[in-house]
Amino acid sequence: MSEKPEKRAWLPPRWFVRLAWFTHRGLYRVSGGRVGLRRAKGNRWGMMHLTITGRRSGQERSVILGYFDDGPNLVTMAMNGWADGEPAWWLNLQAHPEASVDLVDGRRTVRGRAAEGEERSRLWAWWREIDKNLDAYAALRSAETAVVVLEPSSDSNG
């Protein structure tokens, strides 16, 4: 569903990407959530803290992800830092769709699912407006990148 990129996207080495993720989560944790999140605005994605249930362990797992708002829904991508393979959080969310999200303005309970068809095309196009290199990055992966929709749960606070 992506256009043919004109040139190959550049990514830092995998060890650097993983170090950045580790550092970001650490700053979030040490600051008690005061550092590490931001609100999505216009053509700028935000950052949220997603907590899911591990598919094998049953324990809470957390990750910080980029997102944008689509009405009451939050939209992110299961991109694994543009590396091959599905990110663990996405595998966990597929097994246990109920999750919670911490945003700058508070916590929400959500239910996750993959966008499909026209909805996926529309949301991918919106991500492309935010990130002009989206198709080039997606071409680094051998499989299609899932566009993930987090819908408010009926017991959501937000």
Residue 41 has pLDDT above 60, yes or no: yes
pLDDT value for 136:
87
Beta strand pairing call for 106-114 and 60-70: unpaired
Residues paired with residue 91 on neighbouring β-strands, in sequence order: none
Range of weakest confidence among 25-39, 50-64, 72-86, 134-148? 25-39
What pLDDT band is residue 54 in, cutting at 50, 70 and 90?
very high
Residue 156 has pLDDT above 70, yes or no: no
Query: Averaged over 91-100, what is the pLDDT?
Result: 97
Residue 68 has pLDDT above 80, yes or no: yes
CATH architecture assigned to 37-152: Roll (2.30)
Residue 142 has pLDDT above 60, yes or no: yes
Cα–Cα distance between 27 and 158 in angstroms, integer? 25
Tokens of 71: 């009405």
Residues paired with residue 114 on neighbouring β-strands, in sequence order: 148
Contact 103, 37 (CB under 8 A): yes
> Which uninterrupted H or E stretch holds 101?
strand 98-103
Query: Averaged over 64-68, what is the pLDDT?
Result: 93
pLDDT value for 55:
94
Cα–Cα distance between 28 and 47 in angstroms, integer? 11
Residues paired with residue 113 on neighbouring β-strands, in sequence order: 149
